Structure 1
Amino acid sequence: MVNLTLRFVNCCRAADLRVSTAEVLDVVQQLAIVDPFDEFQFYTVLRTNFAKSHRDQDRFEQLYNLFFHEMKNDLTGVEITPESEGFDEVIAQLAKEMETDGDAMKQAILDFMAGKPLGYLDLINKLHKQEEQAATGLKSNMTQLSSRLEVMLKINQMKEKVLQFLGGNHAVVDDSVKAKIEEEFSRRLESAYDILTKEPKTKNSGLKTVAHNDEHYDEIGQIPFSSLSADEIEEVRDVIRQLVKKLEEIATLRYSVAKKGEIDVKKTLRRAGKYLGIPIEIIRKDKPLRKGKIVVLCDVSGSVWATARFMLNILYALQECFSKVKSFIFVSELAEVTDHFIEKEVNDAIEAIMKDAPINYYAQTDYGMAFQTFKNNHLPDLDKKTTLIIIGDARSNYQNPQDHILRQLRDKCRRIIWLNPEQEKQWSEGDSEMYTYKAHCHEVRACGNLNQLIDFIQELVL
């Protein structure tokens, strides 16, 4: 039973479901006090330890069903039948014929058909996480697509080989069981095909979505940023200046009160030991609440920039509410623009970064490439105190979204908030990858007008 569990653990890890050694040891200890041959008890022990969050549960269910049901790694042992014996003999003959091929991909598919999915799951996981290499010329997501096509062709070749083998004179099984063996091979190859074509979707039950916003302003508050006239832009800036002043006053008061007013429970109880446990002396904390860090990734293409410029304006005006604010802009290439805000006044900095940043403003938008560049060069900017804010419409011109990178960024920071200047009804149209990225965010919201922006900023600061 332990060996069977360890094989399942290896498959989980190959499929990018993280399982620690401590969790494996816990499972082994718990299986000793339950009936491991009762599948419900066995399943419950594994799920409790390995599916550590709602995000992991769907993936665990898929792997458990694949390993213990589809691959027939039965807890009580597989019943030996003429069909199973014939199936094993065909696998052995195919393996013998492939010994001289040296084709690792075919070998992984054959092992998958034999009930050992480890190699194939590892192959597919690497394929799903395959990153497009940065290029200065024409870019596409053909690298990953061609890799999938290659695996698909190998599966088809394996199917033809099985059918050819079962139909040949050298087949080692009787005609009466050939149909059942062929059906089992087809089922397992179909399962391999489904794993290849259906990317694992992450369950994100803790996602916060904001569908409605308060009506702070009747007219100017509802106009999309991309549709504002010159006079309306000035009116919005006046509103933002008033909002910034109000929030700064509230935040300053809050931190001041926290500095001299919050009780230090541990020190108070420790001091109470001098007075028979009675808290006569109240000890208060001598430092303010910790301020979070902000990292912003801004798409500066088209209408997205209309939202991003107002967002950056507020964040940098409210810098005393955060310990640090770092900003990056991208279309396809990514560039840090934090220094512009240090050296210039906020509005001047915003105007400058649209002219001086070392990116091609006229390139096709490519979110996957921007995420890859950020991960490669700026991942240390994220920690568990950091809120990562992404401002963009998630329209990536049908390039590889590379959403697995966003999942890696999520693991490194406190939370990811995505602000989309488009309204939610547009998120499933055309080349939008919003629903793909949504699975890896803590919060997503439409933020295309002043009322929506005010709601977000108030929640972020207060």
Structure 2
Amino acid sequence: MNGWNFIRLINALRHVSIMISSQDVCEAQICLARFPNISEKQIIKALLIHRSQDILMFESVWRILFDDNSIDAINGEEKEKDSIKQELNSPSIGGQGIGRGFGGLSLTNSLTNKSLREISLISNRQKLEMLVKEGAAFDDLVQAALTDLDYYTWINSYDLAYRRGTLTEEEWNILQEYQTLLMDEIRHQVIAIQVNQENCWQPLLRQHWLFKPLSMLTESEKNLVKSSIRKWARKLAVRTGQRWKTNQRGRIDLARIIRQSAQWDGLIFRLNYHQQIPSVPELVVLCDVSNSMAPFVEFLLFLVSCLRRRFRKLRVYFFIDKVWDVSSFVWDEDFDNIREEIRSWGHKVSLGFSDYGAVFKELAETYLKDVSARASVLLLGDGKNNYRSPEKEYIAQISARVRQIIWLNPLNIEEWNDPDNIMKVYQPFYSRAFCCGTANDLQRIVKEVF
């Protein structure tokens, strides 16, 4: 690898939030020079990538820089397109009635990265480049590429064949795997076009799990987010509170010992102890569980469950237009029970439309008397009140009673001022507000709130 390509790679990896130190760079240069027989990619990956969650990002950057833009790939692209189109126009699998074209691709085709890339080349690249210039959203670009491939006809054809019984279970499972791999390949091709068009790495960074909307994460990305939340929680676990309280055991309280000894002219000496206690002794979590909020509730509850030992008391309430207490249901990392609880109670006590005024009224009249004056309230909600009465006097009562109200909103900040959004009306009553739409937002909340 020449020096220019090495610099481009380091710059790209840093731009997509992969931490690389000067020492890492020096070690990589030394190993590249000393071991010319070892794959350059293998050396660089081993020395620069320290976290498992960064592997996919590294692979994407490497492909965009070196694989997708290689001379052989560019020169052979048209030849690949012609050969693939001939294959796709061949007759379909006999006896399945699936037809011709892309919908007739045989399940016996090899599921290799090369074949997936070749198939993705059929999509209209010029059309995608034009859409990128027009500022089309990423999902719209992916959908346009899939439409060019006649993807949806293909999927529907095989789905129909499976339901008719002309497709075996094994063939169906292979198809599902192939569908996932093909989708990943198309997404990569779209990102590569965006990176080249915009001449920056922001398009790739936006698709990184840390910066993707929580509602758009895949199952594997959700697991990465939860793994990161556990790490953030472990770091906070070793950070004690700022307040001290006299106790029968703990650290020796020298100041108290000296103070008492001075009062008695040094004639009486008694050991005193004190311990640090959490700065927020009680946390009240309020979660809007209307349909649009479900993905965000899951991650907030997971975050709170990982941090529960930092609080003396923790209360959790769900709400839509009514309130119900779920404090006893949230301490399991498997949130299937919580989802079922939301569905069952939502049908029982809710009309399905958020009503913050009614919720704050119920909280103030029913639950506020049990909340400590030193409690902090963590409110998760998008603020959409469906043009109902805000009932400001009740959130004012809650704000006056508790230490602080912190509002977490998954919507973009620009949407907080929409006509049907209640946040601007409640602004005098909450201390701080944070956007919580991505894992990166959650990380910031952990640092600044907890």
Comparing both chains, which one has the higher relative contact order based on Cα–Cα distances under 8 Å and sequence gaps of 6 or more?
1
Instruction: Tell me the TM-score normalized by structure 2.
Output: 0.48
